[in-house]
Amino acid sequence: MSYLFSGLWHFAAAMAFAVAFGVFARADPTFYLLQIAFLIPLVLSSSALFFVPERYAKKGALKFLHYPLPDWDVLLLGPASHRNWLTHSAFVPLSLLGAVWKWPHLAHIPYFGPVVLGFCLGTGSHLFWDCVGSQRHKIVVVPYWFALREGPSRLYLLAGAVASLCVGGAFASVQNLGL
């Protein structure tokens, strides 16, 4: 099945999240969208390059740019693992938060703030749109053996989206990150 339309919706959700976050944090809808260091991780983790035609997207490393970070479960673990519990969670934002907690000097790396915020909002918007925008829901814990039912899967995705946004909010409240 083509990822084009699903990718387009994920892209729209990411843009909406970025605009809303800009209004909320900076009273400026385009404040974050105009920063390329924010935009690249936002797109990579929400929709990726969904517009690349399928015949190119299946080849080599390009497929990792065609599918967003949470959907790499298909590429790394196979189609039976789609909506894997780890990739469809706030794992990446929480890991980034944990990393800067343990190694505070990471915050001094140029563009660290916009990059981590991009991953937080991108992951959050992806999980949110997976929750509300798709008809089938199944969070896979162990392929062919254990998956969450529809209701708990929706809740799991929503909780991941909220957690990702909260981590983004926490980063934005740190003064020296320039967010």
Tokens of 42: 């936002």
Measured from the CB atom, the residue of 129 and 171 that comes closer to Zn ion is 129
Tokens of 47: 């929709």
Measured from the CB atom, the residue of 66 and 71 that comes closer to Zn ion is 71
Specify the amino acid at residue 150.
E
Query: Strand (E) positions, the chain?
Result: 140-142, 146-147
Least Å distance, CB 10 to Zn ion, is 8
Measured from the CB atom, the residue of 79 and 110 that comes closer to Zn ion is 79
Measured from the CB atom, the residue of 15 and 127 that comes closer to Zn ion is 127
Check if the beta carbon of residue 48 is closer than 8 Å to that of residue 68.
Answer: yes
Least Å distance, CB 153 to Zn ion, is 11
**DSSP symbol at 174:** -
Nearest of 174, 46, 170, 35 to residue 114 by alpha carbon: 35
Q: Tell me the HSE value of 63 on the side-chain side, using a 13 A CA sphere.
A: 12
Residues that bind Zn ion (CB under 5 A): 70-71, 130
Length of the chain in residues, anyone? Answer: 179
Least Å distance, CB 73 to Zn ion, is 8
Least Å distance, CB 126 to Zn ion, is 6
Measured from the CB atom, the residue of 115 and 157 that comes closer to Zn ion is 157
Least Å distance, CB 68 to Zn ion, is 7
Instruction: Specify which residues 142 forms β-bridges with.
Output: 146
